[in-house]
């Protein structure tokens, strides 16, 4: 977990406090500073798509300080250093914030000040620890697989599930315990991206956020994403779409529906998708004659049509339908389905109603068998 340190600048805060009735105050030290280096202060724009430079402060004697206008709402902000890569994430919430910056490794910098930043960096620490455990478990699973140690592999799969469940519970607790923090909105967006939560679970947690936090631009974007996500709940009518095939023809979902249809989002560059493809091939061969159809929607990048077609050939996916707008994450079909990570899959009945989501591996075959056998 990233260590959060109190910096030796509290005296500065005390001396400025009388004159500072409004605004928020940034101060910090720079390791191995070059005199005159520039620290750039930026924040996320209203559409949450890019950062906007707000001010620049000069490093003097290894330190910097700046008084900034009061914020109407908490803002996701960043510090960068001219000529250096990376940035330091923090929440601007009208509290004094201190930094220790490491110019050659900005991600290792420390941030202190404000309840929001405390929550944020505790959360980032949890993510780091979860990723470490997951990485170690995956490595052990690969070793168990290569040695055909099936008992060990099963045990590690249970460990992986426990790590995932603990991470899920920690995220839910953080949001429930901090309804007045912008960090809860950030965590909820992360939760959407993991695709481990139902839209009903996420909506319930969103509704518990404070009215002030719901007024932030970030919360407004989250609200829209949740509305999109609810459109693909089980029992909902799948959003209709059409897109170009590899041959350049336009193909619509309604024209490929079978008794059961898999709408699978993937890409040639997505390793987990490519790993899942052989399982999809197996299920298709076994159940296509009984009415199982597939349409795969590729999120390949612009100009990467050949890579998409080659992946179809290499993975032997040519027996079913394929479409792609070649727009990467800007694909409108992915947007309509609320897809923010791949692989992502939706199982439809003959009327186009969603009857299953993100069924992979053995689970996909079992569900299709249940419906068609």
Q: Are 39 and 57 in contact (CB under 8 A)?
A: yes
Pick the CATH number of 10-113 from 3.40.50.10090, 2.60.40.10, 3.30.200.20, 3.30.465.10: 2.60.40.10
Quickly list H helices, 195-239: 199-207, 211-214, 217-230
CATH code assigned to 242-372: 3.40.30.10
Asked if 335 and 228 count as a contact pair (C-beta separation under 8 A), the reply is: yes
Sequence ranges of the chain with CATH classification 2.60.40.10:
10-113
Mean pLDDT, residues 337-346 taken together:
91
Q: Where does CATH 3.40.30.10 sit in the chain?
A: 242-372
The reported pLDDT for the residue numbered 7 is 29
Predicted TM-score (pTM) of this structure: 0.69
The first and second tokens of residue 265, run together, are 């989002």
Dihedral angle computed from the Cα positions of residues 204, 76, 109 and 123, in that order, rounded to the nearest 10 degrees: 0
Whether residue 206 contacts residue 189, with contact meaning beta carbons closer than 8 Å, is answered with no
Is residue 159 within 8 A of residue 188, CB to CB? The reply is no
pLDDT per residue over 17-61, tens digit each?
Answer: 334 345 689 999 999 888 999 999 999 887 777 889 999 999 999
Sheet of 24-30: strand order equals 63-68, 24-30, 97-101, 110-112
pLDDT tens readout for residues 179-212 = 999 999 999 999 988 777 888 899 999 999 999 9
DSSP 162-182: HHHHHHHHHHHHHHHH-TT-H
Full 3-state SS string of 324-337: CCCCHHHCHHHHHC
Q: Is-contact 368 260, C-beta < 8 A? A: yes
Averaged pLDDT for residues 134-156? 89
Across the beta sheet with 354-357, the strand order is: 321-323, 292-298, 260-266, 344-349, 354-357
pLDDT score at 353: 96
**Confidence category of residue 213, pLDDT binned at 50, 70, 90:** very high
Give the SS3 label for residue 345: strand
- Which structure tokens are listed for 182? 């912008």
For 314, the token pair is 């290499």
**Alpha-carbon gap, residue 86 to 280, rounded angstroms:** 40
Write out the H or E segment, with its range, that includes residue 68: strand 63-68
Cα–Cα–Cα angle for 257, 261, 262, rounded to 5 degrees: 135
- CB 239, CB 353: distance < 8 Å: no
**pLDDT class of 16 with cuts at 50, 70, 90:** very low
Q: Residue 3 pLDDT > 50, yes or no? A: no
């Amino acid at each position: 977990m990233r260590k959060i340190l109190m910096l030796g600048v509290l005296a500065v805060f005390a001396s400025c406090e009388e004159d500072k009735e409004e605004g928020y105050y940034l101060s910090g030290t720079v390791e191995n500073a070059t005199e005159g280096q520039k620290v750039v202060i930026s924040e996320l724009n209203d559409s949450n798509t890019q950062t906007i430079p707000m001010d620049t402060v000069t490093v003097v004697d290894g330190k910097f300080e700046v008084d900034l206008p009061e914020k109407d709402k908490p803002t996701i902000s960043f510090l960068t250093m001219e000529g250096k890569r990376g940035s330091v994430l923090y929440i601007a919430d009208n509290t004094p914030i201190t930094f220790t910056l490491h110019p050659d490794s900005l991600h290792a910098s420390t941030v202190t000040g404000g309840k929001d930043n405390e929550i944020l960096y505790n959360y980032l620490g949890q993510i780091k620890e979860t990723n470490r455990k997951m990485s170690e478990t995956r490595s052990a699973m690969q070793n168990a697989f290569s040695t055909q140690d099936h008992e060990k592999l099963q045990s590690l799969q249970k460990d992986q599930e426990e790590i995932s469940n603990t991470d899920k519970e920690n995220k839910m607790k953080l949001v429930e315990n901090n309804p007045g923090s912008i960090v809860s909105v950030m965590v909820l967006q992360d939760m959407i991206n993991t695709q481990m939560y139902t839209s009903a679970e996420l909506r319930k947690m969103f509704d518990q956020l404070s009215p002030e936090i719901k007024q932030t631009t970030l919360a407004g974007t989250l609200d829209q994403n949740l509305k999109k996500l609810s459109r693909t709940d089980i029992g909902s009518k799948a959003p209709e779409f059409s897109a170009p095939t590899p041959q350049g023809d336009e193909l619509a979902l309604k024209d490929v529906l079978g008794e059961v249809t898999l709408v699978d989002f993937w890409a040639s560059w997505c390793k987990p998708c490519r790993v899942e493809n052989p399982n999809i091939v197996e299920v298709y061969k076994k159940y296509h004659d009984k009415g199982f159809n597939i349409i795969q929607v590729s999120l390949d990048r612009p100009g990467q049509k050949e890579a998409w077609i080659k992946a179809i050939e290499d993975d032997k996916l040519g027996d079913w339908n394929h479409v792609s707008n070649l727009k990467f994450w800007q694909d409108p079909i992915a947007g309509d389905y609320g897809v923010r990570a791949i692989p992502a899959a939706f199982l439809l009945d003959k009327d186009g109603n969603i009857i299953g989501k993100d069924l992979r591996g053995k689970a996909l075959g079992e569900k299709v068998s249940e419906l068609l056998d």
